Amino acid sequence: MRKFGLIGFPLSHSFSKKFFTEKFLNEHITDCEYELFPIEQITLLPKLIAENVELEGLNVTIPYKLPVQTYLNEIDEAAEQIGAVNCISIQRNNGKEILKGYNTDAYGFEESLKPMLDERHTKALVFGDGGAAKAVKYVLNKLHIPFVVVTRTATSNSILYDAVTPELLKDYTVLINTTPLGMSPDTETCPDIPYEALTEAHLAYDLVYNPEETTFLAKSAANGANVKNGLEMLYLQAERSWYIWNK
């Protein structure tokens, strides 16, 4: 039996386990299983892999996307530039495990964003600068879309929300929320920007997908913007993991 799984802590609920369990069932894949591995410390990873010799791949979630890199033999270019790993392939050669790290969030975001882009979408605003923003910034650089990061606290690499004026929004037509604002149960919250300045030339993308229409997306759509949530990105990054484990 081929085994795959998710490491993180805690792991109270998991999109990944539900996704892969249903995938194996729907596609009649009978020789694979997906398990949750809630390890309390990343130092337990080598023990986990040694004890599960059927393990061929892992997804990685909070809080291990950064510290897991210490335990990898290789890291692909995207994951290295982003500075975060959320997928590991495990190959065994003469009793030795070879672990390679990937970032499938970038793939998921890029493939879900590209179909929405047109000639009007030349500059972006990225709301938030936490872990979720890393893959977004990598993709924007890859697509040659200049961007400005917007944060609640001033930094040398960002602007504050009160700097997002109607004038600024005339030039910055791609708006990407990487913050948890609007996520259930705090569904009334959203990035504090002048939504009335948005037009049909704007694209609003929210990495949040619960609820499916956040306040950020609802306000953007009400002013004519094209909108999308992070659900397709989630599915695409999961499928990318499956591709990596089987290539």
Residue 96's alpha-carbon distances to 39, 53, 58, 89, 90, in angstroms, are: 22, 11, 17, 13, 10
Q: Which of 65, 100, 134, 137 is catalytic?
A: 65
Residues shown for the chain? 247
Q: Which helix (H) or strand (E) holds 244?
A: helix 231-246
Bridge-partner residues for 160, per DSSP?
A: 151
142 is catalytic: no
- Rounded Cα distance between 169 and 106, Å, is 25
**In whole angstroms, what separates CA 4 from the centre of its chain?**
19
**In whole angstroms, what separates CA 171 from the centre of its chain?**
26
Spatial contact of 93 and 74, defined as CB atoms under 8 Å apart: no
Quote the crossing angle between the two packed helices 131-142 and 104-113, to the nearest 10°.
60
Count Cβ atoms below 10 Å from residue 171 Cβ, excluding itself.
11
Range 45-54 contact pairs with CB under 8 angstroms and sequence separation of 24 or more: 45/7, 45/71, 46/71, 48/7, 49/90, 49/97, 49/99, 50/97, 52/3, 52/5, 53/92, 54/1, 54/2, 54/3
Please identify every residue annotated as catalytic. 65
